[in-house]
Structure 1
Amino acid sequence: MDGEELRRRYAAGERNFAGLNLRGANISGSNPAEDIFVDIDLSGINLSGADLSGTILAGANLSGADFSNANLTRATLDLCNLTSANFCRADLTKASLAAVELRDTNMSGADLLYAEITQTQLGNTNLSGAKHLSNVDWTGTKVSNLVLEDGTVIDSDHDW
Structure 2
Amino acid sequence: MNGEELRRRYATKERDFSAVNLRGVNISGSEPMEDIFIDIDLSGINFSGANLTNAILAGANLTDANLSNANLTGADLGQCKLIRANFSGANLTKACLDAVKFRDTNMSGANLRSASITQTQLGNTNMSGAKYVSNIDWTGTRVKGLVLKDGTAIDSDGDW
Amino acid at match of 1:139: T
CA distance in 2, matches of 1:103, 1:114: 22
Residue 40 of structure 1 corresponds to which residue in structure 2?
A: 40
Q: CA deviation at 1:20?
A: 1.2
Residue 98 of structure 1 corresponds to which residue in structure 2?
A: 98
Amino acid at match of 1:6: L
| Higher percent of residues as strand | 2
Q: Is the 8 A contact 2:80 2:101 kept in 1?
A: yes
Amino acid at match of 1:112: L
Q: Is the 8 A contact 2:44 2:64 kept in 1?
A: yes
Q: Is the 8 A contact 1:34 1:53 kept in 2?
A: yes
Q: CA deviation at 1:156?
A: 4.5
CA distance in 2, matches of 1:54, 1:131: 20
Residue 117 of structure 2 corresponds to which residue in structure 1?
A: 117
Q: CA deviation at 1:155?
A: 3.6
TM-score normalised per structure 1: 0.97
What secondary structure sits across from 1:157 in the alignment? strand
CA distance in 1, matches of 2:101, 2:26: 22
2:5 matched to 1:2? no
CA distance in 2, matches of 1:40, 1:124: 24
Residue 126 of structure 1 corresponds to which residue in structure 2?
A: 126
Q: Is the 8 A contact 2:69 2:91 kept in 1?
A: yes
What secondary structure sits across from 2:143 in the alignment? strand
2:60 matched to 1:60? yes
Alpha-carbon deviations, 1:67-121, whole Å to 9, x = none? 0000000000011111110000100000001111100000000000010111110
Amino acid at match of 1:99: A
CA distance in 2, matches of 1:153, 1:36: 35
CA distance in 2, matches of 1:123, 1:49: 25
Q: Is the 8 A contact 1:144 1:158 kept in 2?
A: no
CA distance in 1, matches of 2:138, 2:20: 31
CA distance in 2, matches of 1:74, 1:137: 16
Structure 2, unpaired ranges of 5+: none
Point out 4+ residue stretches in structure 1 off by more than 3 angstroms. none
TM-score normalised per structure 2: 0.97
**Aligned Cα RMSD in Å?**
0.9
Amino acid at match of 1:81: K
Q: CA deviation at 1:159?
A: 2.4
Percentage identity across paired residues of the two chains: 70
Residue 29 of structure 2 corresponds to which residue in structure 1?
A: 29
2:141 matched to 1:141? yes
Amino acid at match of 2:13: G
